[in-house]
A and B are shown apart, each in its own frame.
Chain A
Amino acid sequence: MIFFWAFVIGGLICVIGQIMFDVFKLTPAHTLCTFVVLGALLDAFGLYEPFIDFAGAGATVPITSFGNSLVHGAMAEAEKHGLVGVVTGMFEVTSAGISAAIIFGMIGALLFKPKG
């Protein structure tokens, strides 16, 4: 069941992105930034977690979850250390995505040539 909903919710989030591309003529960069901010905002109101519970990877794989987990990490640390925690905890949860991108980016640059 979760597989079905991961597909549907993940797909629907992408449809919203496509509408932003095609109807509002936003560049991919603008669209993705909007998504990340949106994810952070949704988490502020506690609306993103239920989404993840419901759709699993359908909610964690789209870039919106990046904003969500940044807020999450920041809030978790903030509970322990107050405002300082907001800064120190920021990447607690999201480090995997960014470090993977950096590491595989470097490996990619070592291994591949652009195909054109």
Chain B
Amino acid sequence: MLTGHRTWIFDKKPVIISTGTVVGPFEGKGNLARDFDLIHGEIWLNQDSFEKAHQVMLEEACQKAMEKANLQKDQIQFFLGGDLINQITPTSFATRTLGSPYLGLFGACSTSMEGLALSAFLVNYNGAKYILTGASSHNAAVEKQFRYPTEYGGQKPPTAQWTVTGTGVALVSPMGKGPQVTSATIGRIVDMGLTDPFNMGGAMAPAAVDTIEAHLKERNVDPSYYDLIVTGDLGHIGREVSLDLFKKHGTPIKEENYQDCGLLIYREGQPVLAGASGAGCSASVVYGHILNRMKKGELNRVLVVATGALLSPLSFQQKESIPCIAHAVSIENGGEEQV
């Protein structure tokens, strides 16, 4: 049901019945290692290219999610997902293995929540019984495409962020046990004219603020309604900038209830500069860490705001600014199991 301009309230409360998260070695050394289903020891995953490794990671995550929910491949009705590589080939190729009907998405690093919002919408209106949705990224594959060859010696400024090698998928269903998707706010493009591809956080912060404020207003709730508002990959700079923007706009968001996936995933001292980024960042942290905490009852209401910078190497070279977007999805613990 549409509320306001761009918020959907899901009255049937679709359930995330299971998740699958797979990450690389660098993430395995981070803070959240215990929350991931599978941690690979090396970034090649025994494949002969980074792109194939990227694809395999997604296949494994889907497998994990289906295993946990006791489902077979042919029971999955739709797959909604995407990644950052040209024409989202890793996701498309992984879905070729999966064999289910497939809707490819691109929202850069906001793909995870774009997929979850759409899946919840489809499920809410009886469009499907089981939908798999997810997003993934592979550090080396993304670096290769967006920046320089991985072994090239280019100094990254302190504003740069580290692309996560990781993937997270969620199985959404109208019934079952698990955290429920209660509402979603679709973001609009916010472009503040920033052009520095090594400062994504600063570019994306206004988009996150725009979506969060719209969500709170249209859903008519106070920020304190949520135990946690978690952004996708704003990093240190984006988080700080967005907090100051909230202050400026008079939105009472408490610093301790406002976190960022890009800051949660890595340990202090890992050389990631301003934090993590990548489509797999919010996907793996939310579907791994955040949902685990919800299942344990540490968190009951969470608003996930995945942020994306919609640039390409081409647009950057043509001196275009960086358009940004953020999608918000609220995930809440339901009282009792739905049937």
- A residues whose Cβ falls under 8 Å from a Cβ of B: 21-22, 25, 28, 113-116
Contacts and interface: CB of A to CB of B under 8 A. Distances in A.
B151 A115 contact: yes
18 contacts: A21-B155, A22-B157, A25-B196, A28-B154, A28-B155, A113-B44, A114-B50, A114-B140, A114-B149, A114-B150, A114-B151, A115-B150, A115-B151, A116-B43, A116-B50, A116-B139, A116-B140, A116-B150
Contacts of A115: 150-151
Interface in B148-177: 149-151, 154-155, 157
A13 B155 CA distance: 17
Contacts of B155: 21, 28
B91 to A, nearest CB: 20
Classify chain B's interface size: 10 to 19
Nearest to A21: B155
A21 B153 CA distance: 13
Contacts of B151: 114-115
B81 to A, nearest CB: 23
Nearest to A22: B157
Contacts of A28: 154-155
Contacts of A113: 44
A103 to B, nearest CB: 18
A36 B122 CA distance: 58
Given A28-B154, A114-B150, 14 more contacts: A21-B155, A22-B157, A25-B196, A28-B155, A113-B44, A114-B50, A114-B140, A114-B149, A114-B151, A115-B151, A116-B43, A116-B139, A116-B140, A116-B150
Contacts of A114: 50, 140, 149-151
